[in-house]
Structure 1
Amino acid sequence: MVDPTAPRVEDVVRLPEDASLDQVAETMHAEGVGSVVVTGETTDLAGIVTDRDVALALRDGIDPTQTTASDVMTADPVTAEQGAEVFEVVEMMREEGVRRLPLVDEAGDVVRLVSLDDVLALLGEEFADVAALVEAQT
């Protein structure tokens, strides 16, 4: 079973604040991700841009070559510590109304971006394990 809160630094896709929205969309497509962490000059986490942010900006008629990640990102997103339990992460997502939550280390650097899909996959595996246990006992 894969714990969606376990660190996977190599899977975190990052772009600078001045990346164009066009670059953001191309990177998301190339990397097969639905969000990118936006880095600043002095921080590993200036914000997050999601595929929804891109879609809404395009719907509003912006020029993706002249719009930057910092123009559409969610700045200073809520985070959880990398050792957070899965249910803590779910509760934070629910309270904040987000589908993606960065996990940060003690220095505040992003070590993983947990998505609601990650959590649902883990819970699905857990339910399957419980079902198998119940079936084995009957």
Structure 2
Amino acid sequence: MRSTVADVMTTEVASVGEDAGYKEIVSTLLERGVSALPVLDGENRVVGVVSEEDLLHKVEFENDTSARAYWPPMRARLRARLSGAGALAERADEKAAGRTAAHLMSTPAVTVAPAALVIEAARLMERRGVKRLPVVDGTGALVGVVSRRDLLRVFSRSDSDIAAAVEDQVAEVSRWDRGEINAVVEDGVVTLSGPVRRRSVAHALAGAVCGVEGVVAVTNNLDWEIDDVAPYPQMGV
């Protein structure tokens, strides 16, 4: 059975309200040893996330009076606006002037549901370029946080546990393919060997085993009698 976000998330979550001040946010980040905090409204719903990056804009623009006094020519402003750079710079400047979480946070927050699979959360983190995801229920209320480290817990599964799960996959295939398949697990790497009737079965089994939680890689040494895998069509044929 695949692990969900609820299985690996942290439920004791550090967060701040929308009216939390800059120094309160910094103190909470340092005390809890995290790089970002969910920002909550009065009903415990996640309205944004404030990160170290958001806070560093104030350091970046601190005492930078020359940058604030300079106003580029109209042509340069139009070019920057069209490229999107102007909007990003304007937002960074706004955050530098911000005093509360409501002004400093990034919004909307990238969140995930407790029932989402761990692999789904990992893909979301990769796609959105974040290291932590607030976990919210159906109303948007905060119930936990899942980090990259939390997602890696599935790979701490023992070889014996992985082998038992792999054997279930092998038994299902052997039941109707009549193959004598062997599976060896070492450091999360599964090696499959033995005969099967069809090449498609060998491919399907390797794919199923690769999806077993905790499997790092699959070495497919299965032999087949019938090559029923259609070759890729050649151009012009």
- TM-score, normalised by the number of residues in structure 1: 0.75
- Alignment-derived partner of residue 15 in structure 2: 14
Name the CA shift for 1:24/1:4 in 2 (closer, same or farther; >3 Å): farther
Counterpart check, 1:101 vs 2:133: yes
Instruction: Identify the structure with bigger relative contact order (alpha carbons < 8 Å, sequence gap 6+).
Output: 1
* Displaced runs of 4 or more, over 3 A: 128-135
Name the CA shift for 1:68/1:81 in 2 (closer, same or farther; >3 Å): same
Question: Per-residue displacement from partner, 1:76-125 (whole Å, max 9, x unpaired)?
Answer: 21211111111100111122222221111122211111122332x32552
Q: Work out the CA distance in 2 between the residues paired with 1:40 and 1:134.
A: 46
Q: Structure 2: state its 5+ residue gaps.
A: 63-95, 160-184, 191-237
Counterpart check, 1:132 vs 2:187: yes
Q: Work out the CA distance in 2 between the residues paired with 1:131 and 1:56.
A: 47
Root-mean-square deviation (Å) = 2.8
Residue identity over aligned pairs, in percent, reads: 28
Q: Structure 1: state its 5+ residue gaps.
A: none
The alignment covers a number of residue pairs equal to: 129
Taking the TM superposition and a 5 Å limit, the aligned residue runs for 1:67-78 are 67-78=99-110
Taking the TM superposition and a 5 Å limit, the aligned residue runs for 1:1-138 are 5-6=5-6, 7-9=9-11, 11-42=12-43, 44-61=45-62, 62=96, 67-119=99-151, 121-122=152-153, 124-126=155-157, 129=159, 131-132=186-187
Q: Work out the CA distance in 2 between the residues paired with 1:110 and 1:44.
A: 6
- TM-score, normalised by the number of residues in structure 2: 0.47
Q: Work out the CA distance in 1 between the residues paired with 2:110 and 2:120.
A: 13
Matched position secondary structure for 2:140: coil
Q: Work out the CA distance in 1 between the residues paired with 2:188 and 2:15.
A: 41
